[in-house]
Amino acid sequence: MEPTIDTVLLATDGSDPAERAAEHAIALAATTEADLHVLAVADAAASRMAEATLGEQGGDSVLNEAAREATGAVADLAADAPASPDVTTIVRTGLAHKEIAAYAQEIDADVTVLGTEGRSGLDRVLLGSVAENVLRTSTRPVLLISPGTPAPDADQTPYDELLFPTDGSEGADRALDWAIGLAAHYAAPLHALFAADASPFPTTVRSKQLLQALESAGNDAIEAVRERGEARDVEVVGAVASGAPGPTILEYCEDEPIDLVVMGTHGRSGLDRYLLGSVTEHVVRHGDVPVFCVPMRGEE
């Protein structure tokens, strides 16, 4: 079954980086004809601090008002968009990542959109604690928007060139479903990139034969993408490049007009946290392109 987007959840805190994430959430919802839910969470720890200073009612009032302003600003932004999705706003109090996960489950959100930097300004230490926790625990795709990400084109489709980094693993295969589906929806070419990385191997065994074997594996992985793409009339542009996956992906994004990266959160090792840190997080931390992260342990 091809993945579809009927409901998009945007988590916002009203910060400038969150506004950029809102622009992408609005564009995604509008171009997929999905409903957009906008959630702001009044942080529980901040609530306790505000209560200590302003009293229980005063503290709650200040934080809830700020959260309402954050969601209201997104609703206004959506109303002014060339194509405006249906918007529902909600405010909750608690731990941000837990409230985001709970609400995403309640509304059966197909995609959650987050900025990687919020009001704390700790932009990419570990994707920011909220974005990292949501991404690590989500069973549905998470679209991460970094502060330097360009705004989507308001007059055209938001994503014209998609990149799918592949390692040929099961995790990459599930992400491929989404990559092909999005490319087909936007009538966009899909770039398939395999990083032939010899660094995990001891220097004593690195040889021309090893590099040839890695390149052969890459060509096989790209051919599998091409075959899947042909079934959906998606143009696939394949590339095998030598180097570590994270830097190789970013270099490719600089050389090609990529405006959306679709990738699994982990691949061959099966170690969620390890590959999240080494590949997906590297791309988000150091790149300025939206990253559509697809967890391997997703719901069917």
Hey, what domains does the chain have and what are their CATH numbers? 7-145 (3.40.50.620), 162-294 (3.40.50.620)
pLDDT tens by residue, 248-264: 999 999 999 999 999 98
pTM strictly above 0.85: yes
Residue with tokens 């696939």: 236
**Gap between the Cα atoms of 295 and 298, Å rounded:** 6
Kindly tell me if the per-residue pLDDT of 124 is higher than 60.
no
- β-pair partners for 112: 9, 142
Structure tokens at 122: 């700790």
At 144-199, the pLDDT tens digits run: 999 889 999 876 789 999 999 998 876 678 899 999 999 999 999 999 999 988 76
Write out the DSSP string of 72-124: HHHHHHHHTSSSPPPEEEEEEEE-HHHHHHHHHHHHT-SEEEEES--TT---S
Q: In the chain, where does DSSP find H-type helix?
A: 16-32, 44-79, 96-107, 129-137, 170-186, 208-231, 245-255, 272-275, 281-286
Rounded (5°) CA angle 285-253-81 = 80
Question: Are the CB atoms for 193 and 241 separated by under 8 Å?
Answer: yes
Q: What confidence score (pLDDT) does residue 187 get?
A: 96
Q: What is the mean pLDDT of residues 19-25?
A: 96
Token pair 């409230």 is found at 99
